[in-house]
Structure 1
Amino acid sequence: MDILRFLCGVLGNAVGLFLFLAPIMTFKRIIRSQSTEQFSGVPYVISLLNCLLYTWYGLPFVSSDNLLISIISGIGVVIEFTYVSIFITNGPKKERAKIIGLCALALILFITFAFVSLFALHGKTRKLLCGITLDISSTIMYASPLSVMMSVIKKKSVEFMPFLLSLFTFLCGIFWLTYGLLSRDPFLIVPNGLGTGLGTAQLILYAIYCKNQSHMTNEITDEFAETDLETTDQMQKLGCLA
């Protein structure tokens, strides 16, 4: 059981790293254009706070034998902080001030939480506070894809819900849920159970609406073809008139 638990943690780390790196193309685009366009930096601030809490929860003086959680979450802190920094550097003044304010609030909350849990609480009470706080933060983070899923249902298209991202969200939830079950840790079971459920829902939506994506792509291609034909006809007419 210990070996299976360790393997689930290692696989969870590998899949989690992929999820952290998934938005890298978006940030390449932001850096290239030197503009955040319509992208929001708020989810990355929430993810940063969540990674900080997970890193703290995995430390030996909070919960025993959860170092794998601290490792991947610590990597996530570095990656998410990099994303937030890119938003602050390239965003407009209003968005920049908003992200700086939220980031400062997240750091103040985490530092306060860390000091209280470290110096005011001990043993099971410390783990209880950290676990409840972690579950609340994780629930907020996992709720963010709901708007994308509602958009998929309304538009009947998975254009803005990449398959690989949905698949790895599901796999990450499964591995860490199994890890939590083998550890008998309710504070890992609850958030990763939610992640698994949302990942499953995204895959179901993809299975239902993926055909519509190819249909929409064909329609767009046909529209471009019709436009090209109309342009060609107009050019030919102009040539005849000349």
Structure 2
Amino acid sequence: MNIAHTIFGVFGNATALFLFLAPSITFKRIIKNKSTEQFSGIPYPMTLLNCLLSAWYGLPFVSKDNTLVSTINGTGALIETVYVLIFLFYAPKKEKAKIFGVFTVVLAVFATVALVSLFALHGNARKLFCGIAATVFSIIMYASPLSIMRLVIKTKSVEYMPFFLSLFVFLCGTSWFIYGLIGRDPFVAIPNGFGCALGTLQLILYVIYCGNKGEKSAEKDDKSLEMKGEEKKQNVVNGKQQEQQV
């Protein structure tokens, strides 16, 4: 059981790292276009909060035998901070204020949890407090792409829901869910079980809508065809007028 626990922890680290790096494709597009377009910035500060709280929960003086949880989430916190800063730089003014507000709340929540657990709580009470906080915000992190899923259903397009991000949400959630079950740690198993289910839904949506261009793309194609049709009509009229003049 200890070997299986370690194996799923290592696999969870690998899939989590890919999950944290998956949005780099999105941010490459954002930097290239110098615009955040319709991409949502909410998942990144929420993921940052989850990483900070999970890394804190995994520290030896909070919970035992969770070093793998602490190391990968510490790495994730650094990566997500970079994403948030890039998003803030390229986002329009209204979206920038929104994301900056969320980012500020994230830092305040983490500071509060860390200070309270460090100075006011000890032993099991500390573990319980930090575990509940990590669980709640892990679920919120996994739920943050729900707005993107709604956009996918509305537009019938997966343009703004990258496949690899959905895939690694599923893989990461599944591996850490099993890790939590083997280690009998509900604070790891519960939120990642939710993540596994949500990742499954995202993959199902991707299968359903991956072949569609979406409503906006379809409208552009229709307008393009209409313009080409008008040009052809105009060319025909001009040709007849020239023939009559001859």
TM-score bin (small chain): 0.7 to 0.9
Matched, 1:5 2:5: yes
Aligned length in residues: 241
Given the two structures, how large is their TM-score scaled by the length of structure 1? 0.84
For 2:105, the equivalent position in structure 1 comes to: 105
CA contact (8 A) 2:41 2:87 kept: yes
Bigger shift: residues 114-123 or 91-100 = 91-100
For 1:140, the equivalent position in structure 2 comes to: 140
Deviation sequence 1:171-193 (CA, Å, 0-9, x none): 11110011101110000111001
Structure 2: distance between partners of 1:210 and 1:90: 27
Q: CA deviation at 1:221?
A: 10
**Partner SS, residue 98 of structure 1:** helix
Indicate how the Cα distance of structure 1 residues 11 and 226 shifts in structure 2: closer, same or farther if over 3 A, else same. Answer: farther
Structure 1: distance between partners of 2:87 and 2:165: 21
Structure 1: distance between partners of 2:15 and 2:25: 18
CA contact (8 A) 2:156 2:214 kept: no
Indicate how the Cα distance of structure 1 residues 89 and 219 shifts in structure 2: closer, same or farther if over 3 A, else same. Answer: closer
Q: CA deviation at 1:234?
A: 4.7
For 1:18, the equivalent position in structure 2 comes to: 18
For 1:183, the equivalent position in structure 2 comes to: 183
Indicate how the Cα distance of structure 1 residues 146 and 36 shifts in structure 2: closer, same or farther if over 3 A, else same. Answer: closer
Given the two structures, how large is their TM-score scaled by the length of structure 2? 0.83
**CA RMSD, Structure 1 to Structure 2 (Å):** 2.9
Over alpha carbons, which structure has the higher Rg?
A: 2
Structure 2: distance between partners of 1:7 and 1:219: 47
Matched, 1:67 2:74: no
For 1:91, the equivalent position in structure 2 comes to: 91
Same amino acid, percent of matched pairs: 57
Q: CA deviation at 1:84?
A: 1.3
What amino acid sits opposite 1:178 in the alignment? Answer: I
Deviation sequence 1:132-158 (CA, Å, 0-9, x none): 111110111111222333344444444
Q: Which runs of 5+ in 2 are unaligned?
A: none
For 1:124, the equivalent position in structure 2 comes to: 124
Q: CA deviation at 1:59?
A: 0.7
